Structure 1
Amino acid sequence: MSHTQSNAYIIEIHDRAAGIVTRDARGFRFFSSERLFDSLEGRQFRSAREAERAARAVFSERRNRLS
């Protein structure tokens, strides 16, 4: 049985496409698909899960600023 891992993941936060992360030699690089998440553009993460946590933090920070 072969286990392959994906080289790209879509990150969605509350039904919004935050961006995608693609695997490279150093981990996962984030590519924003929505302006709100542009601060993460090009950032390197150790895992797709770490990138998702960062996107959730950006979303949460933005929501708290608007409250």
Structure 2
Amino acid sequence: MSDTYIIEVGSQPAGIIVRAPGGYRFFAASHRFNRLEGQIFRNARDAERAARRLASGMTLAA
């Protein structure tokens, strides 16, 4: 399993995630995804889902 992943929404970069204690830490690639900055996700799929929800205007779970 990789230590770093690029997360894209459509063809736009949302951010990268880097392996950290407890999962993967999100680093935003644009201001649009700043709400995810620093959050820890269990895996790349969870981070991508959160970025897609944010981009579509859905409320993020706390």
Q: What TM-score results when the alignment is normalised by the length of structure 1?
A: 0.82
How many residues are treated as equivalent by the alignment?
A: 58
Aligned counterparts of 1:34 and 1:56: Cα–Cα separation in 2: 14
Q: Which residue of 2 aligns with 1:27?
A: 23
Structure 1: gaps spanning 5 or more residues: 63-67
What CA RMSD, in Å, does the superposition of the two structures yield over aligned residues?
1.1
Alignment-mate amino acid for residue 48 of structure 2 = E
**1:24 CA displacement:** 1.5
Which has the higher Rg, Structure 1 or Structure 2? 1
Richer in helix (by share): 1
Consecutive unaligned residues of structure 2, counting only runs of 5 or more, are none
Q: Percent of pairs identical after alignment?
A: 48
1 CA distance for matches of 2:48 and 2:11?
13
